[in-house]
Amino acid sequence: MRLVRYGEAGAEKPGLIDAENVLRDLSEEIDDLAGDHLSRATMDRLRALDPKSLAKADPSHRIGPPVGRLGNFIAIGLNYADHARESGAEIPKEPVVFNKAPSSLSGPMDEIPLPSDSKSLDWEVEVAVVIGDPAWRIKEDAALAHIAGFTLCHDVSERDWQRERGGQWTKGKSAPGFGPLGPWLVTPDQIDDPQAIELWLDVNGERMQTGTTANMIFGFSQIVSYLSNFMRLMPGDVITTGTPAGVGMGMKPPRYLKDGDIVTLGSPLLGSQRQVVRLSGE
């Protein structure tokens, strides 16, 4: 299934994209794509529905992030060897873990606010997973069963805040609009091999990033199992899993986003995003 949330920010409804790419309303079945509604049991129930029995929704609606009532927004850094090299970092021996503030979450087509004191706003295309069932100290071979779905994430990053303000990556990753997610939550049964998802990102029509999850240092099962040793992962937690090479920080000289830039990113399996960078009114 391709599941979505549509409508104005803060008032999104759950929906489904059918095989003919028609947006269908799920609000008679669940009140949101959130919490226990992301469980395996609910996913199985929704999968059994005939999509044509669901009301059509107006396709002009804004598409929001495909998970509501976000819990943790966890990120894995330096998880592609080529990106670690362009960052001047060693290949990590264990996953590098940090947080993005849940308040950074935004829709896949929403604008990216450019803070007035930003010096180095950067792009990162990633695949995120959304937890569907609680996970505590689970083995790798059980990890995928705890995932409700996969989605596209743009891990927007302010590099000066990330690297020069005391070494806390969360500072550079958490401003409003720094976490576009979606458009869809793609359930695992729709993805033959999660470690073969292709990714791309363009800035103003110029290709900057091309990659595949085959090149992740730590795969999805490893990441979910690893995190579950330190925290109980809960339904609605989002884990974004790292970016391939091609970020602005790695260019010589570095290149960063400015007011009016257009970022597009996508995956053949997970859909695409488009954002315009706009100077924040603050």
| Residue 29 included in any domain | no
Q: Tokens 């670690």: give the residue.
A: 84
| Residue 48 included in any domain | no
What's the CATH code of the domain at 214?
Answer: 3.90.850.10
The amino acid present at 124, given as its one-letter code, is: E
Q: Tokens 């819990």: give the residue.
A: 71
Cβ(243)–Cβ(125) below 8 Å: yes
Q: What are phi and psi of 146, to 5 degrees?
A: -95, 0
Range of the domain at 272: 69-279
| Residue 53 included in any domain | no
Per-residue model confidence (pLDDT) at position 72: 97
For 52-69, the pLDDT digits (tens) are 999 999 999 999 999 999
**Residues sharing a CB contact under 8 Å with residue 60, sequence separation 6 or more, in sequence order:** none
**Residues sharing a CB contact under 8 Å with residue 193, sequence separation 6 or more, in sequence order:** none
Task: Give the Cα-Cα-Cα angle 112, 180, 144 (nearest 5 degrees).
Answer: 165
Per-residue model confidence (pLDDT) at position 166: 82
For 233-242, the pLDDT digits (tens) are 999 999 999 9
| Residue 270 included in any domain | yes
| Residue 3 included in any domain | no
Global pTM reads: 0.96
Rounded average pLDDT over 252-279: 97
Report how many domains make up the chain.
1
| Residue 167 included in any domain | yes
